[in-house]
């Protein structure tokens, strides 16, 4: 038999349509959800500004507060791991940066660098412990979450006698750092510069996932770590790198917040870790790993940003926000699972 | 192509008096065998015969407790499957080492992704990857409709083909197949046997581990029978008929006794 002749076409197979290929995209459900949520709040809006540029500046600000960390968390989830310490690490990083400058007189730029290095260290410990012990990352990072929470309060109290770090606005180099991390763009709408950071992270993460070797490894270690190892993918290195990147994104948000608000509470960031995970899951990441996208997580963050702002603009009591998030989370997972199954062609 | 005259050819793989113990359990005892390039060497054995241990030693997962392991005539010790792969020994395990949710071409190049661009910002060469994947699969006689489809949606035989084609493409000189036909139907098994034949014709030394003597006899040049951790028989293609192979594998007299028993 000639080596180059193709096997005859199998007549039992339906041609994959463009629709199926679209349905296979992990972020499709989130995109549809985002449109629905946007329409909902555009209609219920009582201030008349939700669907304007000002309104957009508002909800993208709220979304960037989640998205900056949610996108790396999504990458980590695709690789099959959780990071529950990402939220409280935002607080730790902000406090660390603030205390270095206000308490020890370190130059702000140097302090920012040290903060990133410090957070990278925390991320490395997370990843290294997970790989070393073989325990679920859920447990390891939960332990890290409580440890950091305790450290945040304890250290801040010892050093400042209060539960907050303040006065960052008065340290040298504040103005130059403020331009990079805390400024506003496009007057009079005043988009926060954090939105740019968020979009940039999403773009880079998408590029990495789809177009680089590392991205291939991320899907592989989450999809089947054993198979990945047998084909020569460095599983440990891939996962630890992602833990480090997640922690560094939390540091970025911590730095952004301490520069923007010039002070930070010791309890900052606690509870945020679930927002990141919700955004990733709403965006189509599988909890079991191996599937998802960065754009999806960014859309998930957008939905949450819209909900935070939209509920306030609609004049509803903001206490309802959490109910809304709960329903959105459940509905999104339901839709994603359904779409996913159809696209895999398994069960209908 | 005869496998009997081995004096001129350096075997691709050779085991000399290899034993493997796990604690007090002797999994393999004094295994001596050789695998020549361009031939199919079948290792036959029933469950618990030590096939898995043998395959893991060949693949670099386990190290022999005693004895020597030679690759192209040189003694080697492998610390990991990665080392073995570096020496040209590729193993297709039963789980196939494919990631179900990833597309066919991404699986094909997993761990060996082709890249282009400037150092530091090198991107996946997706076009090359897709094209190469399609050509390589076609060369094995398999036409996958959609390279973007997740590997998990392929049939067992197709997945096997992807794994074999991948090993062949990445320069395997020795291809170890762990029970490639055990989970397949009759037709799909035939397809996989055809791939084995093609790999052999490319000059690859194929080690075909199976418990099915019929499949082994169709493609094998040399046969080793493994039973309770020791090699009990060695045949070459011209010295054994299928019936003899089946008989030897089933333990000869035992099978006759069983047949007799079943007749009653």
pLDDT exceeds cutoff 60 at B6: no
Can you identify the CATH homologous superfamily of domain B13-98+171-263? P-loop containing nucleotide triphosphate hydrolases (3.40.50.300)
- Partnered with residue B74 across adjacent β-strands are B71
Closest CB from B97, B102, B138 relative to A219: B102
Q: Do A223 and B100 touch (CB under 8 A)?
A: yes
Question: Exposed, middle or buried by CB within 10 Å (0-12, 13-18, 19+), for A22?
Answer: exposed
Average pLDDT over residues B150-161: 82
**What is the C-alpha separation between B72 and B74, in angstroms, rounded?**
6
Q: Do A4 and B81 touch (CB under 8 A)?
A: no
Dihedral angle over CA of B234, B239, B242, B247, nearest 10: -50
B185/A contact by beta carbon, under 8 A: no
**What is the C-alpha separation between A12 and A292, in angstroms, rounded?**
30
pLDDT at B148: 85
A2/B contact by beta carbon, under 8 A: no
**What is the C-alpha separation between A234 and A93, in angstroms, rounded?**
29
DSSP B14-60: EEEEEEEEETTEEEEEEEEEEE-TTSEEEEEE-TTSSHHHHHHHHHT
Closest CB from B82, B95, B123 relative to A227: B95
Per-residue pLDDT of chain A (348 residues; tens, 9 = 90+): 344 444 444 444 455 566 666 766 778 878 888 999 999 999 998 888 888 999 999 999 999 999 999 999 999 999 999 999 999 999 999 999 999 999 898 999 999 999 999 999 999 999 999 999 999 999 999 999 999 999 999 999 999 888 889 888 888 888 899 989 988 888 888 899 999 999 999 999 999 999 999 999 999 999 989 888 878 888 999 999 999 999 999 999 999 999 999 999 988 889 899 999 999 999 988 888 888 999 999 999 999 999 999 998 988 888 888 888 889 888 888 887 777 676 555 433
A337/B contact by beta carbon, under 8 A: no
pLDDT at B264: 72
ipTM for this prediction: 0.80
pLDDT at A16: 58
Closest CB from B123, B146, B194 relative to A211: B123
Question: Which of B111, B143, B159, B170 to substitute to test the interface with A, most A CBs within 10 Å?
Answer: B111
| Alpha carbon separation from B133 to A17, A322, B103, B169 (Å, rounded) | 21, 48, 11, 9
The residue of chain B nearest to residue A215, with distances taken between CA atoms, is B124
Contacts 24+ apart (CB under 8 A), A41-44: A41/A306, A41/A307, A41/A309, A41/A310, A41/A311, A41/A313, A41/A314, A44/A310, A44/A314, A44/A316
Q: What is the CATH number of domain A26-331?
A: 1.10.3470
Nearest to B90 by CA among B134, B126, B127, B59: B59
**What is the C-alpha separation between A31 and B207, in angstroms, rounded?**
50
B146/A contact by beta carbon, under 8 A: yes
Chain A hits for B128, Cβ within 8 Å = none
- Partnered with residue B44 across adjacent β-strands are B210, B225
B32/A contact by beta carbon, under 8 A: no
Average pLDDT over residues B78-99: 82
A134/B contact by beta carbon, under 8 A: no
What are the domain boundaries of chain B? 13-98+171-263
A220/B contact by beta carbon, under 8 A: yes
Chain A hits for B91, Cβ within 8 Å = 230
Instruction: Using a pLDDT cut of 90, give the percent of chain B over it.
Output: 4
Q: Do A1 and B141 touch (CB under 8 A)?
A: yes
A201 vs B116, more confident = A201
Task: Give the A:B interface size as CB pairs under 8 Å.
Answer: 97
Residues 182-201 in A contacting B (C-alpha not used; CB under 8 Å) = none
A44/B contact by beta carbon, under 8 A: no
pLDDT exceeds cutoff 50 at B81: yes
Q: Do B198 and A3 touch (CB under 8 A)?
A: yes
Backbone angles phi, psi at B15, to 5 degrees: -115, 135
Dihedral angle over CA of A328, A93, A235, A214, nearest 10: 80
Chain B hits for A215, Cβ within 8 Å = 124
B150/A contact by beta carbon, under 8 A: yes
pLDDT at A42: 92
């Amino acid at each position: 038999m000639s080596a180059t002749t193709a096997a005859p076409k199998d007549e039992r197979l339906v041609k994959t349509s463009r629709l199926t290929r679209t349905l296979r995209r992990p972020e499709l459900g989130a995109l549809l959800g985002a449109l629905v949520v946007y329409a909902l709040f555009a209609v219920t809006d009582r201030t008349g500004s939700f669907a304007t540029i000002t309104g957009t500046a508002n909800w993208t600000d709220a979304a960037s507060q989640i998205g900056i960390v949610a996108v790396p968390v999504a990458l980590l989830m695709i690789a099959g791991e959780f990071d529950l310490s990402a939220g409280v690490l935002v607080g730790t990083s902000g406090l660390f940066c603030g205390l270095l400058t206000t308490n020890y007189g370190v130059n702000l730029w140097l302090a920012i660098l040290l903060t990133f290095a410090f957070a990278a260290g925390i991320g490395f410990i997370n990843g290294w412990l997970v790989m070393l012990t073989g325990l679920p990352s859920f447990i390891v990072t939960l332990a890290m979450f409580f440890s950091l929470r305790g450290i945040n309060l304890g250290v801040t109290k010892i050093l400042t006698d209060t539960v907050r770090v303040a006065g960052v606005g008065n340290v040298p180099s504040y103005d130059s750092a403020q331009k990079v991390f805390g400024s506003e763009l496009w007057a009079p709408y005043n988009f926060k510069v954090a939105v740019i950071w968020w979009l940039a992270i999403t773009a880079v993460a998408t590029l990495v996932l789809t177009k680089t070797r590392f991205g291939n490894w991320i899907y592989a270690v989450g999809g089947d770590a054993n198979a990945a190892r047998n084909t020569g993918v460095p599983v440990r290195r891939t996962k630890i790198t992602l833990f480090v990147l997640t922690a560094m994104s939390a540091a970025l948000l911590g730095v952004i917040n301490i520069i923007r608000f010039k002070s930070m509470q010791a309890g900052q960031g606690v509870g945020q870790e679930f927002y990141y995970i919700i955004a990733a899951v709403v965006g189509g990441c599988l909890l079991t790993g191996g599937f998802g996208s960065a754009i999806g997580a960014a859309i998930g963050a957008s939905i949450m940003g819209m909900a935070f702002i939209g509920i306030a603009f609609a004049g509803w009591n903001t206490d309802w926000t959490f109910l809304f998030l709960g329903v959105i989370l459940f509905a999104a997972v339901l839709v994603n699972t359904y779409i996913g199954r159809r696209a895999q062609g398994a069960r209908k | 192509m005869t496998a009997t005259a081995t004096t001129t050819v350096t075997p691709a793989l050779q085991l000399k008096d290899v034993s493997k113990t796990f604690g007090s359990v002797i999994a393999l005892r004094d295994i001596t065998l050789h695998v020549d390039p361009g031939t199919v060497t079948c290792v036959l054995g029933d469950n618990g015969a030590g096939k898995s241990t043998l395959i893991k030693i060949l693949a670099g997962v386990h190290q022999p407790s005693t004895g020597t392991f030679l690759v192209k005539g040189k003694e080697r010790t492998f610390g990991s499957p990665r080392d073995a792969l570096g020496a040209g020994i590729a193993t297709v395990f039963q789980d196939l080492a494919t990631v179900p949710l990833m597309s066919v071409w991404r699986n094909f190049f997993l761990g060996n992704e082709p890249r282009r661009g400037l150092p530091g910002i090198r991107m996946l060469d997706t076009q090359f990857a897709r094209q190469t994947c399609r050509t390589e699969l076609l060369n094995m006689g398999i036409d996958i409709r959609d390279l973007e489809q997740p590997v998990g949606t392929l049939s067992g035989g197709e997945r096997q083909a992807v794994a074999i084609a991948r090993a062949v493409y990445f320069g395997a000189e020795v291809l170890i197949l762990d029970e490639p036909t055990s989970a397949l139907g009759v037709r799909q098994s035939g397809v996989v046997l055809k791939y084995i034949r093609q790999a052999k014709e490319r000059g690859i030394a194929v080690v075909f581990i199976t418990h099915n003597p019929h499949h082994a006899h169709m493609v094998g040049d040399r046969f080793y029978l493994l039973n309770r951790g020791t090699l009990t028989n060695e045949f070459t293609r011209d010295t054994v008929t299928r019936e003899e192979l089946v008989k030897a594998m089933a333990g000869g007299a035992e099978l006759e006794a069983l047949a007799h028993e079943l007749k009653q």
